[in-house]
Structure 1
Amino acid sequence: MNQIFSTKFLVCILFFSIVSLHAQDDAAELAKKLANPIASLISVPFQNNSDYGIGDLKGSRNTLNFQPVIPISINENLNMIARVVLPIVTQNNITGIAEKQSGLSDAVVSAFFSPKNTKNGFTWGVGPAFLIPTGTDDFLTSKKFGIGPTAVALKQSNGWTIGALVNQLWSVAGSDERPDVSQMFVQPFITHNWKSGAGIGLVGEWTQNWEARTTSVWLIPNVSGVTSIGKQKISLAIGPRVHLIAPESMRADWGWRAMVIFLFPK
């Protein structure tokens, strides 16, 4: 997807909808569920990340993550929350001067098994995560299949949500010409939502590549809100991306994130 079009599209939707934002009876409940990655809520997020001034060539990268979340009832006590993260990437001046790559990157598919009932606002989920080599360009894929564990735990109380998500992936098959994958991802998060559905949050993203011995840490504050376009309920969020830790060849000077999430409450 063209970087300029995708970023302008998301920004236009965001600000148009914020202008028309109005309180809804169920906005607070939807915002509470959205703050919980394993809530029983069907959602289709489009998360756009734009980063600039990357590495020695001062390149740019736009990553639009398509992230559908589908809860499946296993029995009266247990849900399985299926989650897909499929990145659509456009990057310039990353691999060389005036070089550009555009296409799909590798997908991560997770399945969290989680109790339906929370206790004192605390809930958790565990399950497998899979790395699927869906990348359409040699620079955007590991060409490896991977598997590993994933887990999430959080507590919700008085409008606050505090928790963390983690996964670890190891390659088990794929191209012998590519290096093995051993990568950990940790995502702590804290959010406060008001009864209107508006909220503020802070997300950390730590990626540890054990094979390459590289560390990347992002800090992403955001503001969010729940509204409707016609009968379609949506959530909107926007905020800066701050690259705290990275090798010099991978560090970005600055970036931003915008999200549009289509909600399908029961």
Structure 2
Amino acid sequence: MKKLYTISLLLCMQLCIFSLSTNAQEDESAPKSEAEIAKELSNPNTTLGTMAFPIDYIHYNGDLPGASSQNGFLLNFQPSLPIPLSEGVNLFVRPLIPIYLSQPVFGDNGFENKGVNLGNISADVAVGKTWPSKTITIVGVFGGFPTATNKQLRSKFTTVGPEFMVAQMFNWGVLGVMFNHAWSVNSYTPEDDVVLAATPDQYWISTANKQTASVTAGQYFYVVNLKNAWQITGQPTFAYNHKAEKGSRFTFPVGTGVNKVTRFGKLPVKLSVQYWYYLARPDAFGPQHQVRVQIAPVIPLPW
């Protein structure tokens, strides 16, 4: 049943992107160049709509037996359809829907790989503003939900908290950082279990009758514009889990990659590949290397 649910979700995503791409091909307005689109997409407060599909390969490491030979594959779907409120001010509602294609989980018999499963969905609602100085600020609310179809991959907590981003636009590109903090709205009473998973909000070791979550996370990002719609870019995500045990709290990668905007027919698509190396990760089990390939069709806004 859970596999049918996940496959149905994938089909809905494909139908959505097909419908929007058809609308894009029917748009008779003068098209922007690939370089212009690439530059606009580097703006965190852009009014361009995208349907992003980040695909991650993750190689793990850690102190647990067999940790260094574990790999995972993750497909995400993140639509972004900004709603203009006024000149330079936009509303963003951005869900992030993860689908585990393969994910190692440590249990009584060591590591085992879970097949295709829906992950824990998160979303943010935020308002962005571009200032005359070309500084951009975004303020909003972030939430995470225990929606994974496999119990061992499911977060025990529903979380919510504030989100803040600041970025500066330059002639050569953009540089910025985003932070959010999530507190659990519920508590969990563990049954002497140990959970080791890939996402920071899922890692804890039971030391008390009730557990809660408190995670500070974020992303630093940069884009350097090159010729012919090419860009050098990096968007690594980091996290600090305040409730995890010492040695398992901080996850921090460094990374870089390239973007390229091209067209498939009349549909502009941003293609991206990045490599992240984790300078800090949970000692027992955590990501060491990550390769992210992203396909993001640029679609017309429905309003």
Q: TM-score, normalised by structure 2?
A: 0.73
Q: In the alignment, which residue of structure 2 is the partner of 1:169?
A: 182
2:35 is the counterpart of 1:28: yes
Aligned residue identity for 1:73: P
* 8 Å Cα contact 1:52-1:60 kept in structure 2: yes
Where does the alignment leave 5 or more consecutive residues of structure 2 unmatched? 7-30, 191-209
Q: Equivalent residue for 2:79?
A: 68
Q: Could you tell me how far apart the structure 1 residues matched to 2:235 and 2:289 are?
A: 16
Q: Which has the greater radius of gyration? A: 2
- Which has the larger strand fraction? 1
Q: Deviations over 1:57-109 (max 9, x none)?
A: 22111121211112113345632111111111134543144512231221111
Deviation at 1:206, TM superposition (A): 1.5
Match of 2:241 in 1: 209
Establish whether residue 200 from structure 1 lines up as the match of residue 221 from structure 2: no
Cα distance in structure 2, aligned partners of 1:104 and 1:164: 28
Give deviations 1:112-156, integer Å, cap 9, x for gaps.
1122x4322211110111112211111222132211001111111
Structure 1: distance between partners of 2:270 and 2:299: 11
SS where residue 141 of structure 1 aligns?
A: coil
| 2-structure distance, mates of 1:101, 1:241 | 23
* 1:93–1:130 distance in 2 versus 1, CA, 3 Å: closer
Aligned partner letter, 2:293 = A
Give the stretch that moved more between structures: 92-101 or 37-46: 92-101
Q: Counterpart in 2 of 1:19?
A: none
Deviation at 1:254, TM superposition (A): 2.7
Q: Distance in 1 between matches of 2:71 and 2:157?
A: 25
1:132 to 119, 125, 145: 145
Counterpart of 1:51?
A: 58
Structure 1 CA distance for aligned equivalents of residues 157 and 60 of structure 2: 29
Match of residue 257, structure 2, among 222, 228, 238 = 222
Answer yes or no: is the 8 Å Cα contact 2:105–2:152 preserved in 1. Answer: no
Task: Indicate the residue corresponding to 2:135 in structure 1.
Answer: 122
Match of 2:272 among 220, 228, 237: 237
AA of the residue aligned to 2:74:
T
Return 131-140 or 93-102, whichever deviates more: 93-102
- Asked if the contact 2:141–2:160 (Cα under 8 Å) also holds between the matched residues in 1, the reply is yes
TM-score normalised by length of structure 1 = 0.83
User: Deviation per CA, 1:198-227, whole angstroms, max 9, x where unpaired?
Assistant: 100133321111111411111221011000
Q: Note if 1:155 corresponds to 2:155.
A: no
Give the Cα–Cα distance (whole angstroms) in 2 for the partners of residues 191 and 164 of structure 1.
Answer: 12
AA of the residue aligned to 1:107: I
Deviations 1:15-55 (A, max 9, x none): xxxxxxxxx85222321232233321111111111112433
Return the alpha-carbon distance in structure 1 between the equivalents of residues 56 and 82 of structure 2.
25
Note closer, same or farther for the CA distance 1:217–1:126 as it changes in structure 2 (3 Å cut): same
Structure 2 Cα separation of the partners of residues 226 and 105 of structure 1: 29
Counterpart-to-counterpart distance in 1, 2:211 and 2:37: 42
SS state of the match for residue 254, structure 1? strand
Cα separation, partners in 2 of 1:130 and 1:209, compared to 1, 3 Å: same
**Correspondence for 1:251:** 286
Which residue is 1:13 aligned to? none
Shift of the 92–140 alpha-carbon distance from structure 1 to 2, 3 Å rule, reads: closer
Query: Quick one: distance in 1 between partners of 2:172 and 2:88?
Result: 25
Q: What is the rounded CA distance, in whole Å, between the counterparts of 2:93 and 2:42 in structure 1?
A: 16
- 8 Å CA contact 2:226, 2:232 repeated in 1: no
Residue matched to 2:125: 111
Q: Does structure 1 retain, via aligned residues, the 8 Å contact 2:236–2:276?
A: no
Q: Percent identity?
A: 24
* Mean CA deviation greater in 27-36 or 90-99: 90-99
Match of 1:80 in 2: 91
